[in-house]
Chains A and B, each alone.
Chain A
Amino acid sequence: MASITLTVNKKKYTIEADPQMPLLWAIRDIVGLKGTKFGCGMAQCGACTVHLDGEAVRSCVTLVGRAEGQEIVTIEGISDDNSHPLQKAWIEFQVPQCGYCQSGQIMSAAVLLRENPHPTDRDIDEAMMGNLCRCGTYTRIRKAIHRAAEIMNA
């Protein structure tokens, strides 16, 4: 166990944890933010995606020690009032079905739009293929990302 200071959604948390603990469990079980989900536990599905210094890391395999001193953003921190263009588009198109994977989908899509504000279908497919959805909401996800790009570029 060690004392580790995490910055999550611009707020500092000092936690007692094994540096080898996956970041996901520190976020969910210690910090108490439950929006980030456990899916496969081996970086295969994307449900646990959070931003670490702006990159969409898989928190189930990212050690909490790696995250110390870096900016962590979870789905709860992507906006203060659900006003992020992706959140607006997700609501507009009613993208989720069961919803379990959706926080990871949005976190990955946010990196795509930051680096490519005008993505094509192909760009979206390439960026989002690592985020699985068992409900098959992929077509709505693609539409919503295009819509979010429109909102951002308006």
Chain B
Amino acid sequence: MINVKKWVGILALLVVFIFTGSAFTRPFLSGKAAVMPVYGTSPAEGSLAGGSPGNANGPSYRESDMMHGESGIPGRKPALLHRETGKVPDSVLSKRHFLEVYKVLMSPRCMNCHPSGDAPLQGEDSHIHTMGVQRGLDGRGLYALKCTNCHQPQNTPGLHMPPGNPKWKLPPSYMKMVFQGKTPRQLAAQLLDKTQNGGKNKAQLIDHVTHDMLVASGWNPGEGRALPPLTHKEFARQFKLWLDKGGYLPD
């Protein structure tokens, strides 16, 4: 009987050790943080360059991306912060914020100038631009049909008259920045890829969506055109939150 109790006790200890051992032993063996969370899908800056898709659940944060920050609460362990943003990553919230951003990017006011083909789109139904307008090498049109031949530096007054902006153009042919037809995951990855986003890092992306006058013109589309589903201010806020929370790719 004594031997049976002894072996049951040893077995129970083994079971406990097997299921919890790595978490207990890791800090002692590696000298790293007691809890290293696994952050679902987050590309490190530029990590998607070259088109690496990550695994099915997306790449995890590398430990080198993280740093310890002040928890601000006595007795609590230091928080793990993303080294670049200084923010606490949160995959669920980050993805949720991008889905708000996505609604705006796929609205006609944004997508019509980010077509999958080489012709801009028009209207609430995003039909191909009349007159056979083409992108051209620099995104400014071709021959007698260059964008600014009709699109002035400002909106032309009147219902459905040509909208305007001093920077009016499509993305160039060597970097088309296509929105049309992209899933949330594909578009998020493209936005973070410096080879497809004009070489912008996260801070520059946030500045672009917040301050670029061509982006802002989506909220001043001229008479007869619907606004994007969020205000520009809320769009920029959601975009920043997406990146501050880790810039995760939606599933």
Contacts and interface: CB of A to CB of B under 8 A. Distances in A.
The answer to whether A and B assemble together is: yes
Nearest to A132: B131
A42 B144 contact: no
B131 A129 contact: yes
Interface stretch (B47-55, B97-105, B147-155): B147-155
Interface residues of B, number: 20
Contacts of B149: 43, 55-58
B152 A126 contact: no
A106 to B, nearest CB: 11
Contacts, number: 66
B152 A42 contact: no
A55 B132 CA distance: 17
Interface string A96-131: 000000000001110110011000000101111111
A116 B143 contact: yes
A125 to B, nearest CB: 7
B158 interface: yes
A107 B144 CA distance: 8
A62 interface: yes
Number of contact residues on A: which range applies? Answer: 20 to 34
A66 interface: yes
Contacts of B143: 56, 108, 111-112, 115-116, 123, 126-127
Given A42-B162, A43-B156, A128 B144 contact: yes
Given A57-B149, A66-B152, A127 B158 contact: no
Interface of B: 130-134, 142-146, 148-150, 152-153, 156, 158, 160-162
17 contacts: A42-B158, A43-B161, A44-B131, A49-B144, A55-B146, A56-B146, A56-B149, A58-B150, A63-B152, A111-B143, A126-B145, A127-B142, A128-B144, A129-B145, A130-B131, A130-B132, A130-B144
